[in-house]
Amino acid sequence: MIYSRSAEYAIRAFVHLASVPEGKYAMVRQIAEDASIPSHFLAKILQQLARKGFLRSSKGPTGGFTLRIPAPDISLIMIVDAVDGLADYERCPAGLAECNDHAPCGMHDSWKALRSRIMEYLERTSIEDLAKSLDLKRKNIEKSRKGSKRSISKA
């Protein structure tokens, strides 16, 4: 895993929130159920992200959370940074206090290349990208299920 469980849950919740119509709110209980996340844990994460300006929250029977920033403008690195910080990506993978190009550990060169690719992915991938990809996968699964049912009924 390249980030914490908290960041994973935040990303999954944001992907869900990307499908919420503008002006509408999604309740934590529904997001948690749809994304298979413990609701009490998710509520804390979303409250933290609302305080950091990523989400709007509203109390009451029609309340919940909605994205404050448009989904195409929210990169994964923004969420990971807000939830976990980025210090783990800068740390030496061997745990040395000093590890850099001038005083590298044994894993420095391979970790540096891997870290660069991870950071690039997190920077260029938006919540909208993930939401569209998930939607496409769900449609393809549904289409293949319907196709399987038709071929079974013809047999």
Q: What is the DSSP string of 89-125?
A: HHS-TT--S--SSSS--TTHHHHHHHHHHHHHHHHH-
- Is 152 a residue whose pLDDT tops 70? no
Q: For the chain, how are helix, strand and coil distributed in percent, rounded to 5? A: 60, 5, 30
In CATH, what number does 5-145 get? 1.10.10.10
Partner residues linked to 108 by β-bridges: none
As given in the structure block, the two tokens for residue 131 are 């939401």
pLDDT over 90, % of the chain: 68
Average of per-residue pLDDT values in the chain: 91
CA distance 119 to 89: 8
Question: Running DSSP on this structure, what letter comes out for residue 21?
Answer: P
Q: In the structure, what pLDDT confidence band is assigned to residue 16 with cuts at 50, 70 and 90?
A: very high
Residue 75 has phi, psi (to 5 degrees) of: -90, 160
End-to-end CA separation in angstroms for the chain: 44
Q: What is the pLDDT of residue 124?
A: 97
- Which tops the pLDDT comparison, 5 or 93? 5
Sequence ranges of the domains in the chain:
5-145
Looking at the chain, the whole-number percentage of residues with pLDDT higher than 70 is 94
Q: What is the length of the chain? A: 155
pLDDT one-digit tens code per residue, 74-115: 999 999 999 999 988 888 888 898 888 999 999 999 999 999
Q: What are phi and psi of 14, to 5 degrees?
A: -65, -40
